[in-house]
Structure 1
Amino acid sequence: MSRTPPPFAPFEWMIAWRYLRARRAEGGVSVMTWISLIGITLAVFALVATLAVRSGFRTEFVNTILGANAHVTVYPTSSRDEAGQTVRLIPDYDEMAVRVSEVSGVTRVAPLVKGQVMAAANSRNAGVEVFGIAPEDLSDIPAVADPETGRGDLSRFGEGIAIGSGVARELGVDVGDDVRLISPDGVKTAFGTSPRIKAYEVTYVFTAGRLDIDRTRVYMPFGEAQLYFNREGAADELEVIVSNPEEVGALTGPIQQAAGAGTLIWTWQDASGAALQAIAMQDNALFILLAILVLIATMNIISGLVMLVKNKGRDIGILRTVGLTEGAIMRVFFIVGASIGVIGTVAGVALGVLFSLNIESVYAVVDLVTGSGRDALERSGFFFPPAELRWGDLASAVALSLGLSFVITIFPARRAARLNPVEALRYE
């Protein structure tokens, strides 16, 4: 009693391997098949490299946003003081900061005093936003306390103020110079509120990497800011830093509960939602375009297999006469086409990973070829994103390429399986 061999039996792999190794003169793999192999390799390489650069750009963009900003901001709702004026202050900021810091996932909580004033020096004026913060909390802000981009001595922050490089450039000052801060809400007298003008020494100049921060932000010691803005014994808000900013949405509830009633939550994703949504839309459009590129490359498999089926018509007729079923013939040619897709995908992924791991060398070669300096371009506002490999992106690229290769291969493989052996051997 004869037994039907299982699908993808060893002899099917052997026949497919012989067809892959056969020369063009022997009716083997055609030039179109080699073209499809190279096309798939280049398409997958482009997909992996682009996804890596895209991920690196998003990470760098998020780091720029978070470099000098809070991940979560806790601020109070409006209330009225004894004089009937609307105020938004946190009187028990120390106790609230302790409660919020105990939330799992929170790494740092800092009370802030904020206010908008006019800065003046050298007959120049600039509107700035003052952040009153404790020296130990300022030293924990990575974009500010960066020794490579900052100038001055951050340990002397308690003796003066720290200003952004854009503010320093606009006012024409540097470390050691004095800057006058002018606030319209100053000393309250019997005749009303008079402006408050006070001079501070610039002890530190920082570069956060964002124009809106470097040109407008000034840091002042927390206690001095309380006196300057009439916030004695109170803070305007709490700055909260979490361990995983991407998952900040899961912490808003616990932070809100820990802060207590009469408070509101604002996350960095709320503040940058439009920019993040725009990046996500661009990412999706880019992935679709590259997927079309991979589809075009895999379509060449059809041309190569059609030519292979035509050249192997006599072999197909003989194999059918000796007992191979249509399914076996279909699997043989499916293995041939799928092997091309697998080899091209593996080669493309390898090239993409190699490119991503050596992105800095690639930028150096571009500088050498174009003759332009990268540092000069970066100072002019050009951005050279790093490449960040993610398992999800690699899995998407591999699944897309292999899926398209396998589906495309089915059609010429079915044509080979349905070839009539009588017609194939009629003129042999």
Structure 2
Amino acid sequence: MSSPAPFSRYEFLIAWRYLRARRAEGGVSVMTWISIIGIALGVMALIATLAVRAGFRTEFVDTILGANAHSTVYMAPQEIRNEYTTDVYVVPGRIQDYDAMADKLALVPGVTRTAAIIRGQVMASANDNSNVAEVFGVSLDDLKAMPRIVDPETSVGDLAQFDQGIAIGSGIARELAVGLGDKVRLIAPEGAKTAFGTSPRVKAYTVTYIFSAGRYDIDRTRVYMPIAEAQSYFNREGVADEVEVFVEDPERVADWTLPLIEAAGQGAQVWTWQDASGSFLSALDMEDDVMFVILSVLVLIASMNITSGLIMLVKNKGRDIGILRTMGLTEGAVMRVFFLCGAFTGIIGTIIGVILGVLLALNVDSIMALLNTITSGGAWQPEVRGIYRLPAELRAWDIFRAVGLSLLLSFIVTIFPARRAARMNPVEALRYE
């Protein structure tokens, strides 16, 4: 007669029977529940943390790319030497024939759109309030192509009237206490040159559009102005400061750096969104790895309770083990029975943890909003985090990692007590029975 195959049905039945401890063996039952709860909480925390970290990175990148270029092409600063005094002056690089350069950059494979812009720093003031602002001179068509700026759910005003005024961020509008139709004075330090020196340039503009890009720093400092007006205001007639470039895959924007430099010509330089935010993104990736390791240790600690519970179970079931061995069960069969006891605990705890983790991740935004209300805004500060809410993004790979880690640790920690049960001498087990 051939021996039963490993993990036969009777092994599962015995393991399940042992796992449901009787009232007289309450200690084993308590340890089992502690193991299940510990593993469930560890898996829940791991899934929720990974979802929040993934959602935070996605939201952070989306708010950057929704209101900024993927790459910016500009000319290197130039040195001008005074032939009479031999003094050397460094002046910012300007793009003379910016339309032609934008057309050449648009021909680079993978580039989806280009736009020439004017940039300048000003002081914005209204109603006895003031704030530093960064002005972007753009065309109406280029402004309409920015998804975070033209989102109708987060903006007010009519973009068709953009040529008649300026578009400002919601943060500036709030700090200056202005709304649609109000006037905002823009003060640039470098204005008209007179016999007494350079006087600041001051001009009032009508607010025709108020947007919210989803990033605190952009909403608090960004002002959009028609490019022709920006050229006049900043004394940049006939030139542009930069050409913004948008590519098919922003995550691989570095692949376009060399082709863009070659297309732009001598003296051109490229600055990508990853160059501007690369250190922060690297910090996020590092924090993801650190958090995964820390929470993995928590899951391991919770899994160790399985070992304690199985050791107690083996001790309480010594008589049963002796009887099963004398009935013909092999060491391997006994080992598999107690291995299944620990595996059941790990599987049940993991399933509960996955359910709780998914529910927590799906409702984390509402939970943070409640905590923010209780703490009067202290739980989530947009000026520190840069974005207005705590998002969560459930990814199948993150759930798979959490489940795989939990099950792997649960299976590993059951091996020692299962082997101890298998090596128990049936004679010794039944000697005092």
Q: TM-score range by the shorter chain?
A: 0.7 to 0.9
Distance in 1 (alpha carbons) for counterparts of 2:366 and 2:91? 58
Distance in 2 (alpha carbons) for counterparts of 1:180 and 1:361? 39
How is 1:138-287 mapped onto 2 (pairs within 5 angstroms)? 138-187=143-192, 195-287=200-292
Distance in 1 (alpha carbons) for counterparts of 2:66 and 2:378? 23
The alignment yields a C-alpha RMSD, in angstroms, of: 3.4
Distance in 1 (alpha carbons) for counterparts of 2:364 and 2:80? 58
- 1:126 deviates by 4.2
Instruction: Give the conservation status (yes or no) of the 8 Å contact 1:28–1:311.
Output: no
Q: Which moved more, 1:338-347 or 1:81-90?
A: 81-90
How is 1:27-426 mapped onto 2 (pairs within 5 angstroms)? 30-79=29-78, 86-103=91-108, 105-122=110-127, 125-187=130-192, 195-359=200-364, 362=367, 366=370, 372=374, 384-426=389-431
User: Cα distance 1:82–1:135, how it changes in 2: closer, same or farther (>3 A)?
Assistant: farther
Distance in 2 (alpha carbons) for counterparts of 1:94 and 1:396? 50
Identical-residue share of aligned pairs (%): 62
- 1:419 deviates by 0.7
Partner residue, 2:85: none
Instruction: Give the conservation status (yes or no) of the 8 Å contact 1:30–1:307.
Output: no
Instruction: Report the residue type matching 1:297 in the other structure.
Output: A
Q: Secondary structure at the match of 1:73?
A: strand
Report the count of equivalent residues. Answer: 424
Instruction: Report the residue type matching 1:98 in the other structure.
Output: D
Instruction: Report the residue type matching 2:43 in the other structure.
Output: V
Return the TM-score normalized by structure 1. 0.85
User: Cα distance 1:355–1:102, how it changes in 2: closer, same or farther (>3 A)?
Assistant: farther
Q: Secondary structure at the match of 1:272?
A: helix
Instruction: Report the residue type matching 2:33 in the other structure.
Output: W
Instruction: Give the conservation status (yes or no) of the 8 Å contact 1:158–1:221.
Output: yes
Instruction: Give the conservation status (yes or no) of the 8 Å contact 2:105–2:260.
Output: yes
Q: Which moved more, 1:221-230 or 1:78-87?
A: 78-87
Runs of 5+ unmatched residues, structure 1? none
User: Cα distance 1:120–1:294, how it changes in 2: closer, same or farther (>3 A)?
Assistant: closer
Summarize deviations over 1:171-217 as a string: whole Å, max 9, x none. Answer: 45433233343434445678876654433322223333444333332
Distance in 2 (alpha carbons) for counterparts of 1:314 and 1:376? 59
Q: Secondary structure at the match of 2:116?
A: strand
User: Cα distance 1:250–1:391, how it changes in 2: closer, same or farther (>3 A)?
Assistant: farther
Q: Which moved more, 1:54-63 or 1:4-13?
A: 4-13
Q: Which moved more, 1:395-404 or 1:196-205?
A: 196-205
Summarize deviations over 1:47-89 as a string: whole Å, max 9, x none. Answer: 2122222322232233333342222222222346899863412
Summarize deviations over 1:22-69 as a string: whole Å, max 9, x none. Answer: 635489963211221222122212221222223222322333333422
Instruction: Give the conservation status (yes or no) of the 8 Å contact 1:337–1:409.
Output: yes
Summarize deviations over 1:300-341 as a string: whole Å, max 9, x none. Answer: 111211121112212222333344332222122112211211
Summarize deviations over 1:232-262 as a string: whole Å, max 9, x none. Answer: 3322112233444334334434444444443
Runs of 5+ unmatched residues, structure 2? 83-88
Distance in 2 (alpha carbons) for counterparts of 1:271 and 1:208? 17
Q: Which moved more, 1:9-18 or 1:231-240?
A: 9-18
Distance in 1 (alpha carbons) for counterparts of 2:177 and 2:23? 74
